[in-house]
Structure 1
Amino acid sequence: MPFQRFVETGRVALISDGPNRGKLVSIVDVIDQTRVLVDGPTSNVPRGQIRLNQLHLTKFRIKFPFTASTRVVRKAWSDAKVDEKWSESVWAKKIASKEKRAQLTDFDRFKLRRARSRRNHIRTATFLALRKSASRNGTLYGKKKMAKGGDKPKPAKKGKAQKEAPKKK
């Protein structure tokens, strides 16, 4: 089934254009192919008609009779807890973060850029340290490999100072 959200009575929608932009409404009646009757009982949107290209349909739907009054829509809205469900949705969180980002001052953007830079520096240093230790362990590219000499530890190499030192008799 390709479509999940239909224009139907009780469908909750987000207004994308006009004076009530960003507010939630419920579709009360379908007028024709391009217009619907909406009502926003908790978002202070008065009952009225709106074009479908001004709406974004959400996944939420509330149950109430065909062309119900505002009082009935408000009761169904509160019973379904639409406001709580909407505030927990990813869509609402994205909108809130966009609004918060738009309110940043120059100094706030500077602080954010510095914090990201510091975070990335710490992340890179940690990654390099882990990669270095994995490379030394032999676990960087898959299974840990045994040393060529078996389980025996390799003898320490003699340095120049030990080779040239005179032997006592």
Structure 2
Amino acid sequence: MPFQRFVETGRIAVVSDGANKGKLVSIVDVIDQTRVLIDGPCSNVPRNQIRLNQLHLTKFRIKFPYTASTRVVRKAWNDSKVDEKWAESVWAKKVAAKEKRAQLTDFDRFKLRRARSRRNKIRTVAYYNLRKAASRDGTLYGKKKMAKGGDKPKPKKGAKKTTTKAPKPKK
């Protein structure tokens, strides 16, 4: 089943347009294919009708009888702790971060840019150190290999190179 969020009684939604933009509401009744009756007792949204294209459905759903009163919706809302669940969701955290970024001043944006630059420089140095160590160990590409040069001692500068080739036999 490809869809997980259905337009149904008790579905929690976020208003995406209009005077109540960004507020949580509950669907109380489906009027027709394009409109629903909503109620937001804890988010100060009065009971009214709204178009479905003005709503974003969430994964949360509360249980209450068909076309329940605002009092019943409020009780179901509080019993299922919708506000706490919403605050913990990734969606709500993204909305809060977006609002916080919108409140930044020029100086705050400048400080943020400088902090990111410093963080990236520290991260780059650490990455290159790890890469250098992995190259020395021979584990850079995921396979344990012999390190370059093996266990042979390196010759000192200025020393003559000696070869240990056996002489060719004469015929």
TM-score range, shorter chain: 0.7 to 0.9
TM-score where L is the length of structure 1? 0.88
Distance 1:117 1:65, change over 3 A: same
1:88 is matched with which residue?
Answer: 88
- Could you say if the C-alpha distance between residues 144 and 44 of structure 1 is closer, same or farther in structure 2, counting changes exceeding 3 Å? same
Structure 1 alignment gaps of length 5 or more = 164-169
Q: Secondary structure at the match of 1:124?
A: helix
Which 5+ residue runs of structure 2 have no aligned equivalent?
161-171
Distance of aligned partners of 1:148 and 1:80 in 2 relative to their CA distance in 1, 3 Å threshold: same
RMSD across aligned C-alpha pairs, in angstroms? 1.8
- Which runs of structure 2 are paired with 1:8-19 in the superposition (5 Å)? 8-19=8-19
CA distance in 2, matches of 1:107, 1:80: 42
Aligned runs of 1:87-166 on 2, under 5 Å?
87-141=87-141, 142-145=143-146, 153-154=152-153, 157-160=155-158
Displacement of 1:158: 3.8
Number of residues paired by the alignment? 159
Structure with greater helix percent: 1
Q: Does 1:49 align with 2:49?
A: yes
Distance 1:130 1:146 in 2: 15
1:120-140: CA deviations, max 9, x gaps?
A: 000101111111122222222
Which secondary structure does the structure 2 equivalent of 1:140 belong to? coil
| Contact 2:136 2:147 (C-alpha < 8 Å) held by counterparts | no
> Alpha-carbon deviation of 1:146?
5.7
* 2:137–2:147 Cα contact (<8 Å) kept: no
Secondary structure of the 2:43 match is coil
Identical positions, percent: 79
Deviations 1:39-93 (CA, angstroms, capped at 9, x unpaired): 0010000011111111011111100001100000000000010000000011111
